[in-house]
Amino acid sequence: MDGTRLELVCPAGNLPSLKQAVDAGADAVYIGFRDATNARHFAGLNFDADTMARGIDYAHRHSRKVFLALNTYPQPAGWPQWQRAVDRAAALQVDALIAADMGVLDYASERWPDLRLHLSVQASATNAAAIAFYHEQFNIQRVVIPRVLSLRQVARLVNNSPVAIEVFGFGSLCVMVEGRCLLSSYATGDSPNTYGACSPAKDVEWREINGHLETRLGGILIDRHGPGEQAGYPTLCKGRFQAGGHTFYALEEPTSLNTLELLPQLLAAGVQAIKLEGRQRSPAYIGRVTRVWRAALDALHRDPERFRPDDRWLAELGRVAEGAQTTLGAYHRPWQ
């Protein structure tokens, strides 16, 4: 990127989603293998060798890039699987490998020195010293920063980072320090950082009881929804619980990050890429969200000083947002 444009990085959990993202205007698409090496290891998602090769070919024929998320933390017994995943990524000629574990980064940088490395948000690098360490030791070229920094902190980080900065622009939020969540492991025995999925589908239950819809994870009641009430995918951090004599979203409300109105500030700060969350989402969702963000970024690049989010874009994103509501999240913390 030339520093005057924001690269649009879009999710794809399968080949139809990848094609939707490319056709709708993504500059790059990020994907994962169909195993525990990536942090969206859900049944029916991700790519085998054939579909990944076809997806990469499709993207490259349209002059788009493909990043591979290999961003979970291998345990000792599984280490060879992560090595093989790095080797497969290099053989498939992905445009970048997104990784978090230092062992994976070390293996990739030593075995495949020409393979471009991006530091995953799972690494939770939030300061310039940490980013410099990963750059010096493993030659990372970009870092995806966690959704916990204010806009002012992001700008300061960009000014002091030795590599390009990528930020999340739209999608689900994480209340935990990213890459360090243990809630799913507590409920199911599977950590999203090793198994690869927050709220594994095999542990999710939906029950209709007395006209209400109950959602459970690992047998734990997460939420109870009334008739007509929207029910999202159950995660422990976004469930309703009894605390202090009240029943409410005790940890985090189900809502989506939406930074459309901050795009001029993010561009001026020197951010180089906007990442959309949602590899677990449907192809239709990917297409709709990508088209909105492509239109917004094109408008931004035409006239940054006069950019304003179109009401139609906001309405479209609101319809697909988690909990049908959006937030600026940590970006809007003027005191930081």
What per-residue confidence (pLDDT) applies to 105?
98
Q: What are the residues whose beta carbons fall under 8 Å from the beta carbon of 221, sequence distance 6 or more?
A: 214, 215, 239
pLDDT (0 to 100) of residue 47: 96
In three-state secondary structure terms, 154 is: helix
pLDDT of residue 179: 65
Measured CA to CA, the distance from residue 143 to residue 100 in angstroms comes to 10
Distance from C-alpha of 21 to C-alpha of 279, rounded to nearest angstrom: 11
241: helix, coil or strand?
strand
- The pLDDT tens digits of the residues spanning 77-122 come to 899 999 999 999 999 999 999 999 999 999 999 999 999 999 999 9
- Give me the pLDDT at residue 65, please: 98
Q: Which residue has the higher pLDDT, 177 or 200?
A: 200
Over 60: is that where the pLDDT of 167 sits? yes
State pLDDT tens for residues 45-65: 999 999 999 999 999 999 999
Q: 7-11 and 212-217 as β-strands: parallel, antiparallel, unpaired?
A: unpaired
Residues 201-217 have pLDDT tens digits of: 889 999 998 889 999 99
pLDDT computed for residue 237 by the predictor: 83
Higher pLDDT, 336 or 117: 117
Structural contact between residues 119 and 134, judged by C-beta atoms closer than 8 angstroms: yes
pLDDT at 1 > cutoff 60: no
Helices (H), 189-310: 263-269, 283-302
Whether residue 191 has pLDDT greater than 90: no
Average pLDDT over all residues of the chain: 91
Residues 280-290: what's their mean pLDDT? 95
**26 vs 3, more confident:** 26
pLDDT category of residue 335 using cuts at 50, 70 and 90: low
Evaluate if residue 151 carries a pLDDT over 70.
yes
Average pLDDT of 180-185? 79
Average confidence (pLDDT) over 60-71: 97
pLDDT > 70: what percent of the chain?
A: 96
User: What's residue 324's pLDDT?
Assistant: 72
Q: How confident is the model at residue 238 (pLDDT cuts 50, 70, 90)?
A: confident
**Domains of the chain, with CATH numbers?**
7-173+255-331 (3.20.20.70), 183-248 (no CATH)
Query: What's the pLDDT score for residue 202?
Result: 87
* Between residues 336 and 114, the one the model is more confident about: 114
pLDDT tens profile 22-36:
999 999 999 999 999
Instruction: Give residue 334's pLDDT band: very low, low, confident or very high (50, 70, 90).
Output: low
Q: How far, in Å, CA of 293 to CA of 174, rounded? A: 21
Looking at per-residue pLDDT, the higher value among 266 and 172 belongs to: 266
